């Protein structure tokens, strides 16, 4: 299991949502489906995370756990109160084809967290500006490395579990990690010592053996 803190190196940054060993199970006629497996994730203000994974790794379920729309089968979810003035929601979804306009509408609600499922490149760029300009947190799912590169860090899921993370990376590195996440690109670093879990650490790169 990997624990991911979105800003371990940033002092006094407010925690917005934290998941601790969260598992989400759906019982279906064919059998039990694990949408999330023992996910630990901390989302903090002023940090932009992207979530990726090949197939159906649990990206949407993770976002809905962060928003509070679904409750986990096990584990703990800690959520901060809503906006500082007490009038806004904790989380607001970005939706619709108009990326910039949709992000602006979500920001206008005064949330502390912006969420976007399968964000477009325009939405990713607008979320980047919102995080920088308003100090909110943002988490988006995407299948496109070019979109994921807008984020501070990218979390990779496989079969509902977090298998790796990369920070400060461009589309080529993210694409490589996405491909490797199918067999866990973390495996590449086994035996090389501890690797940073800090998404603010620009050295973290799943293809760089110097991170140990």
Among 22, 108, 110, 121, which residue's Cα sits nearest to residue 63?
Answer: 22
Distances (CA, A) of 61 to 52, 58, 72: 12, 5, 9
DSSP-derived letter for residue 206 is T
Among 157, 156, 147, 150, which residue's Cα sits nearest to residue 132?
Answer: 150
pLDDT tens per residue across all 212 residues of the chain: 555 655 543 444 689 999 999 999 999 888 889 999 999 999 999 999 999 998 777 999 999 999 999 999 999 999 988 755 556 799 999 987 678 899 999 999 999 999 999 999 999 999 999 999 999 999 999 999 999 999 999 999 999 999 999 999 999 999 999 998 876 544 433 333 333 333 333 334 443 322 22
What pLDDT, on a 0 to 100 scale, did the predictor assign at position 187? Answer: 46
């Amino acid at each position: 299991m990997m624990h991911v803190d979105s800003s371990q190196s940033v002092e006094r940054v407010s925690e917005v949502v934290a998941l601790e060993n969260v598992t989400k199970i759906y019982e279906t006629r064919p059998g039990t489906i694990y949408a999330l497996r023992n996910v630990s994730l901390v989302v903090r203000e002023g940090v932009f995370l992207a979530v990726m994974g090949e197939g159906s790794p649990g990206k949407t379920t993770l976002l809905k756990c962060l928003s509070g729309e679904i409750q986990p089968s096990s584990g703990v979810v800690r959520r901060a109160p809503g906006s500082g003035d007490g009038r806004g929601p904790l989380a607001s979804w970005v939706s619709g084809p108009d990326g910039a306009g949709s992000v602006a509408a979500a920001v206008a609600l005064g949330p502390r967290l912006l969420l976007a499922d399968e964000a477009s490149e325009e939405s990713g760029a607008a979320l980047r500006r919102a995080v920088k300009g308003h100090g909110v947190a943002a988490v988006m799912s995407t299948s496109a490395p070019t979109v994921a590169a807008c984020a501070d860090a990218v979390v990779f899921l496989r079969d509902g579990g977090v298998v790796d993370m990369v920070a400060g990376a461009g589309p080529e590195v993210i694409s490589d990690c996405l491909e490797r996440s199918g067999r866990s690109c973390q495996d590449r670093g086994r035996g090389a010592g501890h690797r940073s879990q800090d998404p603010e650490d620009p050295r973290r790169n799943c293809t760089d053996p110097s991170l140990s």
